[in-house]
Amino acid sequence: TQLLEQSPQFLSIQEGENLTVYCNSSSVFSSLQWYRQEPGEGPVLLVTVVTGGEVKKLKRLTFQFGDARKDSSLHITAAQTGDTGLYLCAGWPSYGKLTFGQGTILTVHP
């Protein structure tokens, strides 16, 4: 059983479209991070969310942490080809060890 369910697994869109990636769990997380990874490189941290209901914005990216700290979402507005990559959520459940979502492979077509 996957502790942190990330969806969708694959996403192929046209430049300019909006998209949302979800990470859901039945467990409470003390914090949750989102990363972006390009092929052949290590994941790069985008944001850390720690407070239930928290919303953070990073240019065209909006991150939300659920009120109950069991879920999170990443929304990208007006996607660009440079947004293409693997997006990962990861977090520390209140009881347990570091957990990763399955990843979302985003392809933005020109």
Partner 1 sequence: GAVVSQHPSRVICKSGTSVKIECRSLDFQATTMFWYRQFPKQSLMLMATSNEGSKATYEQGVEKDKFLINHASLTLSTLTVTSAHPEDSSFYICSASWTGVGNTIYFGEGSWLTVV
Q: Is 33 in the site for partner 1 (CB under 8 A)?
A: yes
Q: Of the candidates 11, 19, 101, 106, which one interacts with partner 1 according to CB under 8 A?
A: 101
Task: Give the footprint of partner 1 on residues 37-66 (CB under 8 A).
Answer: 40-45, 48-50
Q: Is 82 in the site for partner 1 (CB under 8 A)?
A: no
Q: Of the candidates 55, 58, 78, 98, which one interacts with partner 1 according to CB under 8 A?
A: 98
Q: SS3 of 81, please?
A: helix
Shorter beta-carbon distance to partner 1: residue 44 or 78? 44
12 vs 23, 43, 106, 110, CA distance in Å? 18, 20, 6, 11
Handedness of CA 101, 71, 35, 10 (dihedral sign): positive
